[in-house]
Structure 1
Amino acid sequence: MMISQKVADRLNLQIKYEYYSFWLYQQMVFELETMGLKVFAQWFTEQAAEEQAHALKMAKYLLDQDAKVKLLALEEPQHEWNSVEEIVEAARDHEIQVTGNINECVDLAIEEKDHATRNFLNWFVDEQVEEVATANELLDLVRMAKTPDQILLLENRIMELRAPEGGE
């Protein structure tokens, strides 16, 4: 193994957190579908897929480092919200928590003098800056919409948040 067992264990824990994010966002999709908010549901479907991709990216890194990937049990996600605002706020809070989890991975890589893992994790650090900013923007937009009609009009703006800057 090219990385320490301590780093491998922490990255396996992060894989669990990434899969939990997938699970949580998928639950949010089902709730948004129930609310009739198809565009919001689509946005969270894409968000869930991103989280799953993050878990797989981390697993591939472990394998590339000759470390064992261990899928850990997931806790049941929250499954009831009273409004789209509650869902988006929960997603934003979750992204802030994930940012802390990634930072813990980085701290451990630095402590272990594991420059390869530190470099690998830079992508996740940058990704979390984007994830939290997007979640904050989405929450601000939802909070500005005071009526169901405004929420539906807001759906036009939602998918723009997922589009890459500069039309790429």
Structure 2
Amino acid sequence: MTATAKKIQHKESKFEHLLQEQVRNEFTASHQYIAVAVWFDDNDLPQLARHFYRQALEERNHAMMIVQYLMDNNISPKIPAIEQVRNDFTETRELVALALEQEREVTREIETLAKTAREEGDYLGEQFMQWFLKEQVEEVSQMSTLLNVVDRAKGNLFDVENFLARETVGDEGADATAPKAAGGAL
């Protein structure tokens, strides 16, 4: 390449743009889970707090998986500011219902990413999104289960705490098929 030759500029695809947006969405979800966990912690519900602190780390890791994918594909990641999170809650069901709706929204976002990669013929991007699709089935399922348990407990939070202490809701351990997270998963 001669000194006068110009470097070809990479034009960001719609899929790449949506991936950059998803980094914000995942970090925002992480912070929302921290707010939920802190509320449970402040209300002396350690199992619920532990569950949501762990969820916060998982969402952070998802963001960092996307960051790593972008770097691996020579796309400069942008680390964005996050959206405002909710901190004012009154009862347990409200928090778990919020978490379930958040997971449903993330599922819609991941589906859009997978669809966009396919429409653009980005086979690597489509393959990358497959793990996230599988993950969202698990996330929605676990939050649905937790909401059912909260409803069945009819206000007895000791039953919910005992359930979480006894069961492995969302705590399946490390997934060997998970994409690598930039800086390593926490």
TM-score (ref. length: structure 2): 0.83
Equivalent residue for 1:122, pick from 119, 127, 130: 130
Matched length: 163
Q: 1:112 aligns to what?
A: 120
Q: 2:42 aligns to what?
A: 34
Whose helix fraction is larger, Structure 1's or Structure 2's?
A: 1
Instruction: Name stretches of at least 5 consecutive residues in structure 2 with no aligned partner.
Output: 1-8, 174-186
- In the aligned structure 1, how far is the partner of 2:164 from the partner of 2:10? 42
Q: Deviations over 1:76-109 (max 9, x none)?
A: 1011111111000000000000000101111110
Q: Is the 8 A contact 1:2 1:66 kept in 2?
A: no
Q: 1:75 aligns to what?
A: 83
Q: Is the 8 A contact 2:27 2:63 kept in 1?
A: yes
- In the aligned structure 2, how far is the partner of 1:72 from the partner of 1:129? 26
Q: 1:155 aligns to what?
A: 161
RMSD (Å) for aligned C-alpha atoms: 1.7
The 5 A counterparts of 1:129-140 are 129-140=137-148
Q: Is the 8 A contact 2:27 2:60 kept in 1?
A: yes
TM-aligned CA deviation for residue 154 of structure 1: 2.1
Runs of 4+ aligned residues of structure 1 deviating over 6 Å after TM superposition are none
TM-aligned CA deviation for residue 116 of structure 1: 0.4
Q: Is the 8 A contact 1:15 1:71 kept in 2?
A: yes
TM-aligned CA deviation for residue 153 of structure 1: 2.6
TM-score (ref. length: structure 1): 0.91
- In the aligned structure 2, how far is the partner of 1:114 from the partner of 1:4? 12
TM-aligned CA deviation for residue 39 of structure 1: 0.7
- In the aligned structure 1, how far is the partner of 2:23 from the partner of 2:76? 12
- In the aligned structure 2, how far is the partner of 1:3 from the partner of 1:110? 18
Q: 1:65 to 1:134 in 2, by over 3 A?
A: same
TM-aligned CA deviation for residue 4 of structure 1: 4.5
- In the aligned structure 2, how far is the partner of 1:77 from the partner of 1:114? 33
- In the aligned structure 1, how far is the partner of 2:146 from the partner of 2:105? 17
Instruction: Name stretches of at least 5 consecutive residues in structure 1 with no aligned partner.
Output: none
- In the aligned structure 1, how far is the partner of 2:11 from the partner of 2:68? 14
Q: Deviations over 1:100-124 (max 9, x none)?
A: 0101111110111000000000000
- In the aligned structure 1, how far is the partner of 2:11 from the partner of 2:145? 37
TM-aligned CA deviation for residue 42 of structure 1: 0.3
Q: 2:5 aligns to what?
A: none
